[in-house]
Amino acid sequence: MNGLVLTLIFAILNSVGYGLLLLLSSGITVVFGLMGVLNVAHASFYMLGAYLAYELVHLTDNFWIALLVAPVLVAAFGAFCALALLLYRTRLGMIVRAAVLPTVAM
């Protein structure tokens, strides 16, 4: 292929990837902003999903299975962490600044 065509393809793929990261980060910011929790753990969940997908590819030798299973596992873990944080906040009456510590620990 022509070098210009390859450059254009890579530029389009990079812009789509960065656009998806922008949507992910802004969505998380809005959700946690409405909940009143300063979250610094979203990058950790993103990293956990990438690591799980990597390991699942090596275990199953199938990229598509890993692509389907890893987000489900990370979503279940995230829901568990969110539920634990919600119960922790309601039982102990945490203030917003004290809610940062569990999100760092996640």
pLDDT tens sequence for the chain (106 residues): 688 888 999 999 999 988 888 888 787 777 767 766 666 677 788 888 999 999 999 999 999 999 999 999 999 998 888 787 777 666 666 555 555 555 555 5
Task: Tell me the C-alpha distance between 37 and 97, whole Å.
Answer: 8
Tokens describing residue 55: 């390991």
Task: Tell me the C-alpha distance between 35 and 29, whole Å.
Answer: 10
pTM score, whole prediction:
0.53
What percent of the residues of the chain are helix, what percent strand, and what percent coil, each to the nearest 5? 85, 0, 15
